[in-house]
Amino acid sequence: MRAWLAAHAGGFSAALKRLSITPLGSALNALVIGIALSLPVGLYLLVSNLQAASQQLTAAPQISAFMALDASRAEIAQIEVRLKQTPRITAFRLVPREQALAEFKKSSGLNDVIEGLPQNPLPDAFVIDAADASPEALEGLRDEIRQWPRVAHVQLDAQWARRLDAGLRLARLVAAILGTLLGVALVAVTFNTIRLQVLTRREEIEVIKLIGATDAFIQRPFLYFGALQGLAGGAVAWGIVSAGAYLANRSLGELSHVYAALLQLNNLTPGDSLVLLLTATALGWLGAWISVSRHLALIEPYIHKSLQ
């Protein structure tokens, strides 16, 4: 165990030394990786905030059920009982036809015209809040209520909900594709960096292999180097996204005063930050492992020739 720990400590120390030898190059690599990772992470943060905001919208989609004009009070009471017994409904309220007419008079300014009508043309109506605000659930509940007796018409404006849901799904897909592509780019950057290091130290590697060094011993410093480079890039990405959220919140604070509403962009959670750093580290390690394994395999034939 001590030998294993000492070997890994030596590899880690060698990787840190290599990073410190070329500070500018290491910093530029971390910056490139950080900028690449900040794009999908920033999009993920934006989508997460939009999802949270959509769940807290006060203008939640509602179903309006209009009774027949000649529906009696007993028939309206029966519909109330059915609404109370439906578990998919969280709340509802009755808008009597007299109240609806009074509100229409107040909002339309057509008092003279309305007073000249022989009778109230507006029906009694129920405004219903559903437990599930997804478009599919709302449409299913609407179709069910439409079949109830003495319900003349059921109206649902779920178009905005469909658009929001489709937009969020598209944004999540774009974030996943962008994250995958830029993750591959991170692996490629690390691959190229390790390739240059292996080529620079090729003669040294051939010598230590001739005296019995294992592939694991040779690979270890390169793997730690790739992991540390990925970790540094992840930290840069976290800083970029956090700074972007801070600057955005300053602008949103000004809008909050204008619209008298709390507008704020939540930053990455500790869990999200940890996932970002671990993912960047793992991708850096993967790029280093692919690169050094490939080049060690290319060097192997030359080792055999030297031994012969």
Tell me the per-residue pLDDT of 215-224, one tens digit each, with 9 for 90 and over: 677 778 888 8
Q: Is the pLDDT of residue 102 over 80?
A: no
When pLDDT is cut at 50, 70 and 90, the band that residue 259 belongs to is: very low
Contact (CB, 8 A) for 186 and 65:
no
Lowest model confidence (mean pLDDT) among 19-23, 40-44, 55-59, 229-233: 55-59
Q: Is the pLDDT of residue 188 over 70?
A: yes
Domains of the chain: residue spans and CATH: 2-56+163-307 (no CATH), 62-156 (3.30.70.3040)
* Alpha carbons 293 and 183: distance in angstroms, whole number: 20
Burial 49-62 (b: 16+ CB within 10 A, else e): beeeeeeeeeeebb
Lowest model confidence (mean pLDDT) among 113-127, 174-188, 292-306: 292-306
* Alpha carbons 303 and 299: distance in angstroms, whole number: 7
Which of 32, 5, 3 lies closest to 284, judged by CA? Answer: 32
pLDDT tens digits, 87-100: 888 889 888 888 87
Sheet-wide strand order for 125-130: 89-95, 125-130, 62-67, 151-156
When pLDDT is cut at 50, 70 and 90, the band that residue 283 belongs to is: confident
Contact (CB, 8 A) for 64 and 138:
no
pLDDT tens digits, 154-182: 887 656 666 777 777 787 888 788 878 87
- Tell me the residue length of the chain: 308
Contact (CB, 8 A) for 222 and 288:
yes
**What integer pLDDT is reported at residue 60 of this predicted model?**
61
Which of 122, 291, 85, 270 lies closest to 205, judged by CA? Answer: 291
Q: pTM (2 decimals)? A: 0.61
Which of 37, 39, 45 lies closest to 284, judged by CA? Answer: 37
Contact (CB, 8 A) for 262 and 49:
no
* Amino acid identity, position 290: I
Angle in degrees, CA 290, 296, 301, rounded to 5: 140
In Å, what is the CA distance from 296 to each residue of 197, 209, 217, 299? 12, 10, 12, 5
In Å, what is the CA distance from 279 to each residue of 70, 171, 228, 234, 300? 65, 21, 12, 8, 31
Which of 29, 62, 70, 49 lies closest to 244, judged by CA? Answer: 49
Partnered with residue 153 across adjacent β-strands are 66
**What integer pLDDT is reported at residue 208 of this predicted model?**
66
Angle in degrees, CA 210, 18, 196, rounded to 5: 65
- What stretch of H or E contains 15? helix 2-21
* Alpha carbons 229 and 288: distance in angstroms, whole number: 10
